[in-house]
Each structure stands twice: as C-alpha cells, then as structure tokens.
Amino acid sequence: MISDMSDETEHHPDPYSRASASAARLKEVAGMSFDAAVVLGSGWLAAADAIGQADGEIPLAGLGGFPAPTTAGHGGAVRYLNADGKRVLLFLGRVHLYEGHEPSTVVHGVRTAIAAGCRTIILTNAAGGIRADYAVGQPVLVSDHLNLTGRSPLGGPQPPAGYPGRFADLTAVYSPRLRDLARSLDPALAEGVYAALPGPHYETPAEIRMLRGLGADLVGMSTALEAIAARHLGVEVLGISLVTNAAAGLSNEVLDHADVLATARSSAEQVGSLLAQLLPRI
C-alpha cells in the first residue's frame, strides 16, 4: 500500500520538479528505474494484458500529480513489467484537456516516466479514421500530428535550469526508427497524420473536411501534447492509433463513446501482441 500523495505537488513549484518527485516515489515503490513507457488509450486494457505479466501495479494517486481520470476506458494505475530485459511502465489510461486539466497535468505521466529513466515513450489512442482506406479496428502508426488544441505543455515560465529551453524542435516528433522497427514486425501497418482537437465533443462533418484538407488522416483528443513533452526532453516517441470509427460525416453511424470503447477492446489485444514483440527491441 502507498499513501495518497496528491498534496505533495504543492511543494514543487514547477511541473518538472513535480514529475521528478513522482518518479522518485515510483522508483522507490517498484525498486527500479525504467527503460520505456506505454500510455494506453481508450479501451486499450487488453493490450496491457497482451504485452506481458505485470510484476506490480501502483495507483497513480499515490505518486502525486495524477488526478483521477473521469473518462470511461481510462484507469488510474500504472503497471510495471520486464519485457525480455527492458523495464517497462504501462499507464492504464490518461487524463485529457477536456476534463479541465492544464497541459502540464495532461503530460505529467510522460514527464514522470522520463524522470524515472525511460528513453522511449509509446503513445496509443483511439481515433476516428479520415482516410477512406482505413478500416475500423485497424492500427495505424502516427507519422506526424497537427496540434489543434491551442495549447502546449511548453507554455508558461521557462523550464528550470538543467532542462532544455522551451523552443523544442518537432521536425521528427514520431521516431522514424521506431516506425521502421514496428513495420519490420508487421509490414501491413499503415501510417498517417493525427489531428489532435480539444474535445470532448466529436467533430462536425465540416471540420472533418477541413482536417482532410489540412492533411490529417486520423482525429482524436490526446497524444499530441504528450508527444511534444517527450520530444522536448529528448526521448524517442512512437504513436499508434487504433481506428475505432469513421470520422464524422464519413458513414451513417452515430458517434458514441461506448462504441469506441467496444471497438478498442476487441482490437487492442492484437496491438498489444505487436508491442510485446517490439518492446524488447527498442
């Protein structure tokens, strides 16, 4: 058992110090540092089970800085396991801007993982498919993103001494090396550009037409801010979207979060098996 340390964040004046404090508690409880972290999107719990047997699971509330998720399909815990020599964190969900959080809170898990030693971050999500040739239930590698949330985790005061400056280079935010590695395991994997919107409402058909014109292939409400925070700190990022529905106006189906979760649950195990093969090779 670990105590609730939610008040501990008040003693750390900047988000980087808060992440370091959470990482220190995480390493203390787990008894180790880590190599990689996977952040699981809506309905992705089956992927966590497929990745491997956990050595332990820690409530995020006990690490400080992690509010309880309010969105169905997102848990409030982190698992840790050994994947053939790679020490891996599995965040069983995330929080979002639309839940009323600041960007620094949205990316707290990623910054904590990096402070705990992770040099690879794998971000997963459930996404609407914009490209006509994407099938529901299909995993797609994220090649780039459009951050249309209007927010950045690098906004606000300068990062403290010892951290990179706020003007991060995002030229290759999603690692070409990791995408090539994933395709070596599954040559059928498609890739595409992910558009991140603030939500929580789904997009209108007009907005989807706009996004298509901007070059987006996928649309969702997460991932981009976490990717920015990770690249700012110099780690490699792999993004994987699971197409859970056709985007608004592209089918006659009514968009419903329950259907998104059902599709993710039925397909996530397949992607978890891919990650189980990939993680030891990162």
CA angle, 34 then 139 then 215, to 5° = 105
Q: Is 108 a catalytic residue?
A: no
Catalytic residue among 5, 17, 50, 99: 99
* Cβ contact 214:140 at 8 Å: no
What gap in Å lies between CA 139 and CA 191, rounded to an integer?
9
Catalytic residue among 257, 262, 266, 273: 257
Catalytic residue among 36, 37, 42, 168: 42
Cβ neighbors of 184 (< 8 A, separation 6 or more) are none
Say whether the peptide bond before residue 200 is cis (omega within 30 degrees of 0): yes
**Treating both helix axes as pointing N-terminal to C-terminal, what angle do 108-115 and 15-30 enclose, rounded to 10 degrees?**
60
Q: Is 42 a catalytic residue?
A: yes
What gap in Å lies between CA 236 and CA 128, rounded to an integer?
25
Q: Is 126 a catalytic residue?
A: yes
Catalytic residue among 47, 245, 267, 268: 245
Q: Is 222 a catalytic residue?
A: yes
With 0-12 CB in 10 A as exposed, 13-18 as middle and 19+ as buried, what is 256? exposed
What gap in Å lies between CA 214 and CA 193, rounded to an integer?
10
Catalytic residue among 125, 222, 241, 267: 222
* Cβ contact 174:224 at 8 Å: no
Centre a 10 Å sphere on the Cβ of residue 19 and count the other Cβ atoms it contains. 28
Catalytic residue among 96, 108, 145, 232: 96
Catalytic residue among 74, 108, 145, 232: 74
* Cβ contact 64:75 at 8 Å: no
Beta bridge partners of 122: 38, 238
Catalytic residue among 221, 227, 246, 276: 221
Catalytic residues: 42, 74, 96, 98-99, 126, 221-222, 245, 257
